[in-house]
Amino acid sequence: MTKELKFATNLAKDAGKILMDEFGKAKILKTKADKRDVCTNVDLKTEQMIIGKIKENYPDHKIYGEETGKTNGESDYTWIIDPIDGTRYYISGIKFFSVSIALWKDNEPILGVVYFPALDEIYYAEKGKGAFCDKKKLKVSSISNLKDSIIALDIACSNKLELSEKKTTTRRLETIFANTYRIRLFGLGTFVLCSIAKGGFEGYFDLTGKEKVLDLVAGIIIAKEAGAKITGLDGKYLGKNTSHVVITNGKIHNKFLELINSIS
């Protein structure tokens, strides 16, 4: 474990302690542009702590925070942080949320950490070194048949889609449902990607194309290092410009792409 990864895992656990200490006390400070996501005092408190520690230890690195935006730096490295993935769960008293921290360079993550404080489970990965949960190495599912596959979907912001897009989304949903073992909708990307990494699900698809790679970045490297494949609908990975993100165990990837591309 490099010093950067050790730093990130310790930082995620420190952030998780804040979340558990403040659990049940969060207050909504603002709603975001789409009115569906919110920011709480705990989001800001946790993010400010994380940013402060990064600046103290890596003063020249850039930082991109879910709540506070971008902080410039002279380095090629950018820390990407989400203090609470699953804020709606958090403020509702549901212990289904995580802290997400990643380090990005050359249009891809080079390390990622996801910590679930209520479960006390930490997932982490570094480029080329594998993915782990609490020191146990992770490996994606060996299932290669769509009919036996569980697919997690994201349909965030679907209310803002044009009518034609809504129809395509609905048809794709019906098609995936009819051709796979199960579909799941969690609204917690970090959980889904970590579950793919440990072999719990076979795939993930962003139905509406509204989910950003940067929102998933820590989970992406964890899944990738466990053997997952990440592309857009066109079968290509374009870094942060990838849209309609598709992530699978690799074994069903081409079949799944063919299935969803059959609907337009």
State pLDDT tens for residues 110-126. 999 999 999 999 999 99
> Do 73 and 190 have their domain in common?
no
The answer to which of 34-38, 147-151, 156-160, 178-182 has the lowest mean pLDDT is: 156-160
Split into its structural domains, the chain has a count of 2
User: HSE on the CB side for 243, CA within 13 Å?
Assistant: 4
* Mode of pairing for the β-strands spanning 78-85 and 98-105: antiparallel
- What pLDDT is stored for residue 166 in this prediction? 79
Local confidence band at 168 (pLDDT 50, 70, 90 cut-offs): confident
Residues 24 and 104 in one domain: yes
Residue 135, phi-psi category: left (phi > 0), alpha (psi -120 to 50), beta (remainder)? left
Q: Is residue 139 situated within a structural domain? A: no
Print the domain residue range for 227: 146-261
In a domain, 137, yes or no: no
CATH code assigned at 15: 3.30.540.10
Residue 162 has pLDDT above 80, yes or no: no
